[in-house]
Amino acid sequence: MRHAIWNGAVIAESDRCVVVEGNPYFPADTVKREFLRDSSTHTICGWKGTASYYDVVVNGETNKDAAWYYPEPKPEAANIKGYIAFWKGVKIE
């Protein structure tokens, strides 16, 4: 079982994570949506496609763009459609 933790809160927990490039991606249904806020940030990965981001908000503190996902991944990354990954100090245990 993996846990994503930031600012003392468990944001996600799952035993069904998919690891891509060393990053565990959590199934969206295992992420506590009350801690996510839509971000307008987007980046492009050559083989995965265009990533969208969420800010992680816990106890009134915001970790900007600390979660990302690929709403329409390229075929090579189809296995992460519907999954969310974390960084920027979000601890994965």
DSSP the chain: -EEEEETTEEEEEES--EEETTEEEEEGGGB-GGGEEEEEEEEEETTTEEEEEEEEEETTEEEEEEEEE-SS--GGGGGGTTEEEE-TT-EE-
- Segment 2-32, tens digit of pLDDT: 999 999 999 999 999 999 999 999 999 999 9
Q: What angle do CA 58, 22, 10 make, to 5 degrees?
A: 20
pLDDT the model gives residue 90: 98
**Domains recognised in the chain with CATH numbers:** 2-92 (2.170.150.40)
